Amino acid sequence: DAGVTQSPTHLIKTRGQQVTLRCSPKSGHDTVSWYQQALGQGPQFIFQYYEEEERQRGNFPDRFSGHQFPNYSSELNVNALLLGDSALYLCASSLVLVSYEQFFGPGTRLTVL
């Protein structure tokens, strides 16, 4: 079992650009959640996807959007990047009926210059 995988590992972008991060869930899981972890902070919930739809969302602007594919993998898109978007982006997968039990990937480190 490969667990949750994320790509890329690191990414450097400039202000105003757009970025796409990818996540493959743990085998058998159907729900994917995304978190932003700023340096020295705990992860902040961005949104969760199930059955290719956004199931719930945290307090993040519309610049943050996502997608879930039929194979349950997911993408996080961020438009019009700001310096403050620099963070570790974590993906977590779960089963919808026990969506509070999440397995995390290693994260993607995004740096915005």
DSSP code of 105?
Answer: -
The single residue among 30, 45, 60, 95 that binds other proteins, judged by CB under 8 A, is 45
Considering the complex, what minimum distance in angstroms separates the CB of residue 93 from other proteins? 12
Task: Give whichever of 18 and 27 is closer to other proteins, judged by the CB atom.
Answer: 27
Whether residue 18 contacts residue 76, with contact meaning beta carbons closer than 8 Å, is answered with: no
Task: Give whichever of 72 and 99 is closer to other proteins, judged by the CB atom.
Answer: 99
Binding mask 87-106 for other proteins (x = CB under 8 A): ---x-x------xxxxxxxx
Binding mask 55-94 for other proteins (x = CB under 8 A): -x-x-------------------------------x-x--
CA 62 to chain centre: 14
Torsions phi, psi of 96, nearest 5?
Answer: -60, -35
Residue 54 binding other proteins, by CB under 8 A: no
Q: How many helices (H) and strands (E) does the chain have?
A: 0, 11
Is the bond preceding residue 70 a cis peptide, omega within 30 degrees? no
Whether residue 108 contacts residue 7, with contact meaning beta carbons closer than 8 Å, is answered with: yes
Binding site for other proteins (CB under 8 A): 4, 33, 35, 40-45, 48, 56, 58, 90, 92, 99-107
